[in-house]
């Protein structure tokens, strides 16, 4: 999930805006700005000078990229790009395992680029790219091993979102409001191209990962998991409800009947719960910290709270306690995991104490539970705001690839 902050004005105005953002965020994701406002403002103004000077060249070079990505017809939602012939360099640990394999979905165009201004936000916008590059650098995958998705079209999004909401997303101030970043109003670039299109592409990645999970057993999208987006509004740095859209697409094509969503991001999947409410064909299970955003919470089919200070042992034990019941009640044809790594110790938007090893084990347990039940499973990466969040998810994804191997 991505939020970006931008501002043009005097330093006094900037600090005043920072105060209002801090107050508002105390009831959303928490304090997202540095308490040392003068230092932050100085950094911001220096980046702004260089960033906006580069904006024209960024706009012109990105225009051709976006034109190549965006497909106007519905085929963009349903087509499956050709798989690269070379597969992972990693071999499954169990060579006799003829079952599930990993399909990895990613595009470098998931990354939001706004002339350098995106670097001001505490979320590491390059997280997904770092994971992908490290997998290649360490010889876990070949460069051509990943599948590149197409962006969702309006027709696909309308399976979950209202037409009025998509129309409102054409207005700059609405995008800034839904992403809780009014400073986007000052960005001299197209927010459709540079913000919404990356969201649409990463959301398309969740759908593509699901299609391949149905074939290969395990689909991993190095992005997605925008679990705060609701049918008629975006919030919590989420514009589109990628998991509910993927479920509705697969149901509409009669590829699945029932779907399970297991959300282990530290924040409740309130948007997912609302998008899939009162629906016997889906089951939503969210395990999250109870005393943080969102407040108030929506109602999932099963909500389980953990407490500030809980670490690997408590989180995983609580999760495992409910898994047999969740799988039995869901009776699902596919499982989506919203695998945020913001339960990590030191995350600025939460106060759990999980480790890298704990995140890796958490994901491995969930995937193994799906594999042994022969349920196709999709992993999305969702949130995570600490400096080493990318590393935790890299280790998790690497472990899954080395455990199950890549589909050839």
What are the extents of the domains in the chain? 11-404
Residue 367 has pLDDT above 70, yes or no: yes
Contact 201, 194 (CB under 8 A): no
Q: How far apart are CA 120 and CA 33, in angstroms?
A: 9
Phi and psi (nearest 5°) for 135?
-60, -40
pTM of the predicted model as reported, rounded to 2 decimal places: 0.80
Mean pLDDT, the chain, whole residue set: 80
155-164, 181-190, 227-236: which has the minimum mean pLDDT?
A: 181-190
Residue 395 has pLDDT above 80, yes or no: yes
pLDDT at 116 (0 to 100): 57
Residue 4 has pLDDT above 70, yes or no: no
Task: Give the rounded percent of residues in the chain with a pLDDT score beyond 70.
Answer: 73
pLDDT at 114 (0 to 100): 67
If one compares 358 and 62, the residue with the highest pLDDT of the two is: 358
187-191, 245-249, 264-268: which has the minimum mean pLDDT?
A: 187-191
Model confidence pLDDT, tens digit, residues 264-308: 999 999 999 999 999 999 999 999 999 999 999 999 999 999 999
Nearest one of 321, 353, 319, 325 to 339, comparing CA atoms:
319
Q: How far apart are CA 94 and CA 87, in angstroms?
A: 17
Q: How far apart are CA 248 and CA 174, in angstroms?
A: 26
Mean pLDDT, range 2-15, rounded to an integer: 35
Model confidence pLDDT, tens digit, residues 67-91: 333 333 334 444 343 333 333 444 5
Residue of 194, 228, 267, 356 marked active site: 228
The three-point CA angle 325-331-337 to 5° equals 75
Handedness of CA 179, 396, 352, 326 (dihedral sign): positive
Q: How confident is the model at residue 30 (pLDDT cuts 50, 70, 90)?
A: very low
pLDDT at 27 (0 to 100): 40
Q: How far apart are CA 397 and CA 339, in angstroms?
A: 11
132 a catalytic residue: no
Residue 247 has pLDDT above 80, yes or no: yes
pLDDT at 168 (0 to 100): 96
Q: How confident is the model at residue 17 (pLDDT cuts 50, 70, 90)?
A: very low
Superfamily of chain region 11-404: Histone deacetylase domain (3.40.800.20)
Contact 285, 307 (CB under 8 A): no
Strand partners, 259: 282, 334
pLDDT at 29 (0 to 100): 57
pLDDT at 375 (0 to 100): 98
pLDDT at 334 (0 to 100): 98
Tokens 């009014």 map to which residue?
182
Q: How confident is the model at residue 186 (pLDDT cuts 50, 70, 90)?
A: confident
Nearest one of 384, 3, 383, 34 to 180, comparing CA atoms:
3
Element (H or E) spanning 282, and its range? strand 282-289
pLDDT at 98 (0 to 100): 57
Mean pLDDT, range 35-62, rounded to an integer: 35
Which runs of E-coded beta strand occur in 81-192? Answer: 101-105
pLDDT at 189 (0 to 100): 85
Contact 192, 231 (CB under 8 A): no
Helices (H) and strands (E) in the chain, counts: 15, 7
Mean pLDDT, range 105-124, rounded to an integer: 71
Q: How confident is the model at residue 32 (pLDDT cuts 50, 70, 90)?
A: very low
Q: How far apart are CA 234 and CA 223, in angstroms?
A: 17
Residue 353 has pLDDT above 60, yes or no: yes
If one compares 119 and 375, the residue with the highest pLDDT of the two is: 375
pLDDT at 7 (0 to 100): 33
Task: Give the rounded percent of residues in the chain with a pLDDT score beyond 90.
Answer: 64
């Amino acid at each position: 999930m991505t939020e970006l902050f931008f501002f043009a004005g005097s330093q006094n105005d900037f600090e005043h805006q920072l105060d209002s953002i801090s107050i508002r965020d105390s009831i959303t994701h928490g304090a997202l700005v540095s308490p040392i406002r003068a230092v932050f403002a100085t950094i911001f103004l220096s980046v702004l000078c260089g960033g906006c000077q580069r904006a024209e060249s960024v706009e012109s070079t990105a225009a051709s990229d976006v034109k190549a990505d965006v497909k106007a017809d519905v085929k963009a939602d349903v087509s499956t790009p050709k798989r690269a012939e070379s597969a992972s360099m990693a071999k499954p640990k169990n060579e006799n395992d003829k079952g599930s394999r990993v399909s990895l979905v990613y595009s470098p165009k998931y990354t939001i680029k706004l002339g350098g201004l995106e670097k001001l936000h505490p979320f590491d916008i390059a997280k997904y790219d770092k994971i992908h590059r490290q997998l290649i650098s360490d010889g876990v995958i070949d460069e051509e091993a990943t599948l590149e998705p197409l962006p969702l079209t309006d027709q696909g999004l309308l399976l979950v979102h209202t037409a009025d909401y998509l129309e409102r997303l054409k207005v700059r101030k609405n995008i800034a409001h839904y992403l809780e970043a009014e400073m986007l109003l000052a960005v001299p670039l197209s927010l459709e191209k540079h913000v919404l299109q990356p969201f649409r592409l990463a959301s398309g990645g969740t759908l593509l990962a699901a299609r391949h999970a149905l074939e290969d057993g395990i689909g991993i999208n190095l992005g997605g998991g925008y679990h705060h987006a609701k049918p008629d509004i975006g919030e919590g740095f989420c514009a589109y409800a990628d998991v509910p859209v993927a479920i509705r697409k697969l149901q509409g094509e009669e590829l699945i009947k029932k779907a399970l969503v297991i959300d282990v991001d530290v924040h409740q999947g309130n948007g997912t719960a609302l998008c899939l409410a009162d629906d016997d064909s889906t089951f939503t299970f969210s395990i999250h910290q109870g005393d943080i955003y969102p407040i108030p919470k929506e109602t999932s089919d099963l909500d389980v709270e953990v407490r500030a200070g809980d670490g690997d042992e408590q989180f995983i034990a609580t999760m495992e306690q409910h898994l047999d019941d969740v799988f039995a009640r869901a009776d699902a044809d596919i499982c989506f995991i919203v695998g945020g790594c913001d339960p990590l110790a030191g995350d600025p938007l939460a106060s759990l104490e999980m480790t890298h090893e704990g995140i890796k084990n958490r994901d491995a347990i969930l995937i193994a539970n799906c594999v042994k039940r022969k349920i196709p499973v999709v992993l999305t990466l969702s949130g995570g705001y600490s400096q080493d969040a990318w590393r935790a998810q890299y280790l998790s994804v690497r472990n899954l690839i080395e455990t199950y191997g890549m589909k050839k």
